[in-house]
């Protein structure tokens, strides 16, 4: 079971990506819980996640989130803008799994 958390300003545009990522995970037969939250809820939800991905438009949050991510011991990164624009569930899922693996 992998738990992937996405965060942006209000969790709207990242939730678009969540749908695509869930579909991709299902196709691969991967047991995954993927969800999107607004920036204020992210620190709390990080405790329940294996990885945090930040929408590129909120990339200025990375430094602040990195502190909490470090405390709970999960990796985080900014979603690549091109994959974000294409709502590319496959690429972002790969990225999330890679981050978890290398943690």
Partner 1 sequence: MDKFMEMLENVLMPIAEKLNNNRYLSALRNGFMVALPLIIFGSIFVVIANLPFLDRVLSEEGYAAYQNALGPASAATLSIMGLFVIIGIGYKMVEGRGGEAIYGGVVAIASFLVLTPQVLEETSGVIPTSSLGAQGMFLGIFTAFISAELYQLFVRKNLTIKMPDGVPSAVSRSFSALIPVTLTLTIFLAVRVLFSFTGFETVQNFIYTLVQQPLTALGSGLPATLVAVLLIQVFWFFGLHGQIIVNSVFDPIWYSLNDENLAAFQSGEELPHIVTKQFIDTFIVGIGGSGMTLSVIFVIFIVAKSRQMRELGKLGGPSGIFNVNEPLIFGLPIIMNPLVLIPWLLAPVVVAAVTYFAMSTGFAPRPAGVIVPWTTPALLSGYLATGNNLMGAVMQLINMAIVFVIWLPFIKLLDKQYYGEELTAAEPA
Using alpha carbons, select from 30, 29, 28 the residue that is nearest to residue 4: 30
Question: What does the DSSP 8-state code read for residue 50?
Answer: S
Q: How far apart are CA 39 and CA 59, in angstroms?
A: 11
Quick one: which of 5, 6, 7, 8 contacts partner 1 (CB under 8 A)? Answer: 8
> Should residue 67 be labelled a site residue for partner 1 when binding is judged by CB under 8 A?
no
> Should residue 16 be labelled a site residue for partner 1 when binding is judged by CB under 8 A?
yes
Least separation in angstroms between residue 63's CB and partner 1 is 7
Least separation in angstroms between residue 97's CB and partner 1 is 22
Catalytic residue (choose from 5, 8, 17, 46): 8
Quick one: which of 27, 31, 40, 98 contacts partner 1 (CB under 8 A)? Answer: 40
Residue 7 near residue 34 (C-beta atoms within 8 A): no
9 Cβ neighbours under 8 A, 6+ residues apart: 38, 39, 55, 57, 58
Q: Is 8 a catalytic residue?
A: yes
Q: Which residues bind partner 1 (CB under 8 A)?
A: 8-9, 12-13, 16, 39-40, 55-61, 63-64, 81-82, 84-87
């Amino acid at each position: 079971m992998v738990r992937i958390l996405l965060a942006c300003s209000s969790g709207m545009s990242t939730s678009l990506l969540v749908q695509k990522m869930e579909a991709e995970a299902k196709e691969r037969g991967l047991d995954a819980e993927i969800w999107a939250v607004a920036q204020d809820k992210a620190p709390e939800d990080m405790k329940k996640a294996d990885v945090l991905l930040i929408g590129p438009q909120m990339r200025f949050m990375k430094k602040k989130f990195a502190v909490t991510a470090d405390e709970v011991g999960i990796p985080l990164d900014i979603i690549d803008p091109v994959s974000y624009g294409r709502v590319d569930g496959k690429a972002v899922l790969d990225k999330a799994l890679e981050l978890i693996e290398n943690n």
